[in-house]
Structures are given as C-alpha cells and as structure tokens.
Amino acid sequence: MTSYQRPDLDQRPAEPNAQPISARRLAVMAIFIALAAVGSLIKIPSPVGTIGLDSAPGFFVAIGFAGWMGAVVAAVGHLITAAVVGFPLSLPVHLVLAVGMAACAFVFGWLGRKGTVGLIAGFVLAALLNSVVLGLIMLPIGGVVAYTATIIPLLIGATVNLAIATVAYLALRNTRLLD
C-alpha cells in the first residue's frame, strides 16, 4: 500500500519560457480597454451600427507595447461596441469579428514595429483586413448588397482608428512611456 502525499500547492510546475503577465501590462490593458469603451460610444454611421472608435486603443497598444496586448484590447473593444448596440449581428458573429479585430491589431503591431515602411504596410493591410476581409461576414447574413453597403463605413472606421493610433504612436515612440 502506498501512502498518499498531498501536492504542495505553493509550488507550480516549471514551464519553459513561461512568464507571468506583469501588473504593469495588466494595468495598460485595463486602461486602454476603458478607452476602447469610451470610443465605442463614438459611432461612424453604417448599416450595422457597430462601427466606432473602439479599435484605436487596441491598435495603439499593439504597436506601442505588444501585439498580443493590442489584440486583447481590440477584441474586447469590439465586443463592448457590439454590446452597446445589442449585438445586432448576433453574439456568435460578433465573437468571430472580435477574433478578426484581434488579428488586425496584431498584424498592425507586428508590421508597424519594422520601421516606416512597415508602419505604412501595417496601416494599409490592417485597414484592408478590417474592411474588405472582415466585411465578408456580411455575405451569408445579407448577401452582396449588405457586404457592399458596409465596406465603405468599415474602411472609413478602420482608417480613422488606425490614424489615431499611428499619430499617438509617432508622438510617443521616443519616450519612456512605451515598451
């Protein structure tokens, strides 16, 4: 008969390359999620009603701090915007769109950190992903008419959000405020 040993709950198994999220990073994400919530109240007219200035904080965090942090902020920002107007496309569709927004922010942050050319490429690619690619979700919902009706507002919204994030990043990139 073997004796049972209680596991030591204070000891965690070592994971290679595992780093806990610092309090500073959590605070940065919380502050910018709050800014995204404020931005979600500023709408760009569209047939959908969920296009707002909610993703600028996510884009800024992606380029100024870390891509994954910006992805989290952008995804939560989109969900807040969708919640404010009652999830007009349904919760599952908005969850898919939140993942897409996270990808847009990550791509912008990844390319934007590679110099001026990368910043421009990231801006253009994120705007196109945000409008033309994520707009494709409208095809099964409302067909080609709904898709074409949402592309211009999505492109305008993406461009405004990316411009805000880019201007803020360029103003602060040489300070000690960013990682």
Domains held by the chain: number? 1
The verdict on residue 15 lying in a domain is no
The verdict on residue 89 lying in a domain is yes
Predicted pLDDT of residue 9: 54
The verdict on residue 5 lying in a domain is no
The verdict on residue 85 lying in a domain is yes
In this structure, what CATH number is given to the domain that contains residue 75?
A: 1.10.1760.20
Q: Are residues 65 and 24 in contact, defined by beta-carbon separation less than 8 angstroms? A: no
The verdict on residue 110 lying in a domain is yes
Closest CA to 131 of 77, 74, 65, 51: 51
Q: Are residues 107 and 126 in contact, defined by beta-carbon separation less than 8 angstroms? A: yes
The verdict on residue 111 lying in a domain is yes
What range defines the domain where residue 72 resides? Answer: 24-172
> CA torsion, points 8, 14, 19, 23, in degrees to nearest 10?
10
Q: What is the pTM of this model?
A: 0.87
Residue 164, CB half-sphere, CA atoms under 13 Å: how many?
Answer: 17
Report CA-CA distances (Å) from 7 to 1, 10, 13. 18, 9, 11
Tens of pLDDT, residue by residue over 27-71, are: 999 999 999 999 999 998 888 888 999 999 999 999 999 999 999
The verdict on residue 4 lying in a domain is no
Q: Are residues 54 and 73 in contact, defined by beta-carbon separation less than 8 angstroms? A: no
The verdict on residue 40 lying in a domain is yes
> CA torsion, points 124, 128, 130, 132, in degrees to nearest 10?
170
Q: Indicate the DSSP class of residue 136.
A: G
Query: Is the model's pLDDT at 11 over the cut of 70?
Result: no
Tens of pLDDT, residue by residue over 135-174, are: 999 899 889 998 999 999 999 999 999 999 999 999 999 9
Alpha-helix runs per DSSP H in the chain: 23-39, 56-64, 67-84, 91-112, 115-128, 138-172
Q: Indicate the DSSP class of residue 45.
A: -
Predicted pLDDT of residue 100: 96
